[in-house]
Amino acid sequence: MKILGNSIIATLIIAFIIGQFFPNQFLVVVYTVLTAVVAIVSLKYSKGLPRMFGIVMVLLGSSIFLYQQQPLGIWAEGITKNLPLVCLVVIVPILGIPIGLGNYHQHLAGAISRFNRKPDLLYLLITGLFSLIGPITNLGSLYIIHAMLENVKPPNALLGRAYVRGFTSVHTWSPYFASVILVVYSLNIPIYQYLPYGIILSFFQISVAYYLFRYVEMRHIKVKDFESGQYINIKMLYELFAVLLLLTGFIFLFEPFVQLNASVLISIIVLVFAFLWTAYLCFLKHFFKEINEYRKKILPGKANEVNLLLTAGFFGVVLSKTPISNYIHSVWVGLANKSVFLLIIMTITIIAFFSFIGVHQIVTISAIVATVSYDQLAVHGLVMAMMLLSAWGVATTISPISPVTTAVSSLIKENVFKITIRWNLLYAIFLLLVHSIVIYCIHLFLFS
């Protein structure tokens, strides 16, 4: 079943990408049917709350559509709503292959160990590393950075903060993350227009995290001394930094002129860039072997993400066809009529609260963008995007079921609630306030 499921996902992505270049009704039918099959298979391999939410959204959404006797076209729209994001989630980790083949992580490990006697700088370097390799390797960056720190062995109290905060700082800006693509794609905003504002949010995330750690949290953390004898190849570090700049730069270069879905464009950039990067390293034979190995592990590895994206997209379309959409719409319009600042802070708070009690932010954000128009809120689309992506970052930080917190819990062998509440709740509150002020100032001075 697993082999068949992975083959179907690979076929689906190929069919969808081809369909973007050569649109025809046959391909639309093919990838719509395949998407429905992938949604069912991903539900089978999902675990925990994501599986439960996926099943509930599919059953409830299907029941509503059947009761409303919606035409097949509406069903197809719901089923394929987030298909471009699934392509992105599945393809982006391929960028991690050249990092492993080129042993870039070993040279980064040498750089990290130089700062083991300075906890604040070590913390800043770890969080900064996520900005460097997080966009390229996504969740894999957690495992790569943790492996780099094997000899340094910082205390868990430092790692639990640095890992979660560093990774979530990428959620607000990276075009290679599903969070950014989901929001800007749903709001019909070009990625190259949003990127500068996303980087502003990320800057304040890293700043709040660093100063909170340095002046409040660091006094309670002791870091053991460790002498590093690792050789650092500075050229390799420059190469990694150049890769990140080029990957981001290509979006600015191509998106305004290429009439393709942004997720598809980014997926193609990833595939081409990973191939060229591996060719530069002279590991092409190994590259294709690694691609094949990765294809075999898409399920269950990506089951939770694929399941949540497809079912939340479907459920968002369902909500937009029901009276509930009017209620959600009236709540947000009511907030906007009182104060834009109140709208910003309450949007972040509501999404974060639902995430804290176990409702994934994909579900709440999909429901909001499916039922609320930023024009009706009298705010610019970029302000709406910043608001939702700030909420995504805060929500992920305190969610007990987010892939980030569960992965960190597994890596450092600590209770997930200790990570989210004891170590990161204060940071989430500060971030909520700072981001709200920053977004409101941008609204006030740039878009009013």
Q: Give the pLDDT confidence of 368-385 residue by residue, as tens digits.
A: 998 898 998 999 999 999
d(C-alpha 31, C-alpha 306), whole Å? 15
Most confident of 103-107, 177-181, 233-237, 242-246: 177-181
Give the mean model confidence (pLDDT) for residues 149-175: 90
* Same-domain status, 274 and 298: yes
User: Do 169 and 228 belong to one domain?
Assistant: yes
Q: Are 81 and 111 contained in the same domain?
A: no
What does the pLDDT average to over 76-87? 91
| Domains: count for the chain | 2
Range of the domain at 385: 93-446
Structural tokens at position 320: 């937009």
Are residues 78 and 114 both part of a single domain?
no
- Confidence band (pLDDT; 50, 70, 90) for 258? confident
Out of 72, 91, 110, a domain closes at: 91
Task: Please tell me whether residues 86 and 41 are part of one structural domain.
Answer: yes
Predicted local confidence at residue 446, as pLDDT: 94
Average pLDDT in the 137-166 region?
86
Instruction: Name the residue with higher pLDDT: 393 or 302.
Output: 393
Q: Which of 91, 113, 131 is the last residue of a domain?
A: 91
Please report where in the chains the tokens 């937009």 appear, as a residue.
Answer: 320
pLDDT on residue 143: 84
Please tell me whether residues 239 and 264 are part of one structural domain.
Answer: yes
- The pLDDT confidence band at residue 36, using thresholds 50, 70 and 90, is very high
352 contacts 42 by C-beta, under 8 angstroms: no
* 147 lies in the same domain as 30: no
The answer to whether the beta carbons of residues 172 and 198 sit under 8 Å apart is yes
- pLDDT number for residue 389: 97
Asked if 249 and 379 sit in the same domain, the reply is yes
Residue ending a domain, choose from 49, 76, 91: 91
d(Cα 330, Cα 342) in Å, to the nearest integer? 15
Q: Are 9 and 138 found together in one domain?
A: no
Task: State the pLDDT at residue 116.
Answer: 66
* Pair (69, 166) in one structural domain: no
Determine which of 42-51, 250-259, 370-379, 418-427 has the lowest per-residue pLDDT on average.
250-259
Could you tell me what percent of the chain has a pLDDT over 90? 47
- Share of residues in the chain with pLDDT > 70 (%): 95
What does the pLDDT average to over 25-43?
A: 93
> Is the CA virtual torsion 74, 75, 80, 82 positive or negative?
positive
22 & 104 share domain: no
pTM: 0.85
pLDDT at 38: 94
Residue 111 has pLDDT above 80, yes or no: no
Res 401: pLDDT: 79
Average pLDDT of the residues in 130-150: 82
Query: What's the pLDDT score for residue 233?
Result: 65
- 187 shares its domain with 103: yes
Residue 367 clears pLDDT 60, i.e. is over it: yes
